[in-house]
Structure 1
Amino acid sequence: MRLRALITALVVAFGSGPLSAQETVNPGTGAVLRVLDKLNAKVSDVTLANGQSAQQGLIEIVLGECRYPVGNPAGDAYAFITIREAGIAQPVYRGWMVASSPALNPLDHSRYDVWVMRCTTS
């Protein structure tokens, strides 16, 4: 009885069509990241190519790669980034950030916030 109710709820929630586990994505040529210095309230947009790095205040940001859903480079872009503090080899952040959900995997830093805005394309 419970199994039947669960199956019915899933069919109603997701429809009767097939579910796609993966979305088709395109690689971007780079990404636009927004950096907030919480100490002086300065906001900067940084445009990086894949594999490029930039120094913003006391942190270094390295963009590994940016991907986006086919036909929507601004909407649900996500980027693999590494962030290090100056003079420290261990990253304070290394992972994927999603433009549409920056709180999903946020940078936890006392002074800086960094989030993905969109991918760049050629």
Structure 2
Amino acid sequence: MRAALLALLMALPAQAQTVTEGRGAALRWLDKMSGETADVELSRGQAAVWGRLTIQLDSCRFPADNATSEAWAHLTIRDSVADKAVFNGWMLASSPALSALDHPRYDVWVLRCLQS
């Protein structure tokens, strides 16, 4: 369902927009069992471990003309118990449910890109 919605949104005509690559991203995660949250800033290629998750930031992009309006981050998230990637793709700051981590215990979302 999410993939179909994302494909539909990408197929819609859009105005040409200049996109800038950020030097990193600010992310937030939630442990649904304990209610604990934490924010982290990652540089491109950097990873952070929190609980069972290892979250790696591959890329963060934002509109060049309005950096605060949107952020798209490509993340690779691994679960140490599953020993595999539980998420590998783009997350959108303005629509976290569109392409979300589907995990029974943890939630991760993008807050913004870090600018140079």
Asked whether 1:55 is paired with 2:54, we answer: no
Give the whole-Å Cα distance in 2 for the aligned partners of 1:22 and 1:36.
35
Q: Which runs of 5+ in 2 are unaligned?
A: 1-12
Amino acid at match of 2:62: Y
Q: Does the CA contact (< 8 Å) of 2:17 and 2:63 recur in 1?
A: yes
Q: Pick the aligned partner of 1:33 from 27, 36, 39.
A: 27
User: Alpha-carbon deviation of 1:71?
Assistant: 3.0
Which protein is richer in strand relative to its size?
Answer: 2
Q: Pick the aligned partner of 1:81 from 75, 79, 82.
A: 75
Q: Does the CA contact (< 8 Å) of 1:74 and 1:117 recur in 2?
A: no
The CA RMSD over aligned residues, in Å, is: 1.4
Aligned to 1:4: none
Aligned to 1:120: 114
Aligned to 1:98: 92
Q: Does the CA contact (< 8 Å) of 2:56 and 2:75 recur in 1?
A: yes
Q: Does the CA contact (< 8 Å) of 2:24 and 2:60 recur in 1?
A: yes
Give the whole-Å Cα distance in 2 for the aligned partners of 1:22 and 1:55.
37
Give the whole-Å Cα distance in 2 for the aligned partners of 1:88 and 1:63.
20
| SS across alignment from 1:71 | coil
Aligned to 1:64: 58
| SS across alignment from 1:92 | strand
Alignment size in residue pairs: 104
Identity %: 48
What TM-score does the superposition give when structure 1 sets the normalisation length? 0.79
Q: Pick the aligned partner of 1:111 from 93, 99, 105.
A: 105
Q: Which has the larger radius of gyration?
A: 1
Q: Does the CA contact (< 8 Å) of 1:31 and 1:119 recur in 2?
A: yes
Give the whole-Å Cα distance in 1 for the aligned partners of 2:102 and 2:14.
32
What TM-score does the superposition give when structure 2 sets the normalisation length? 0.83
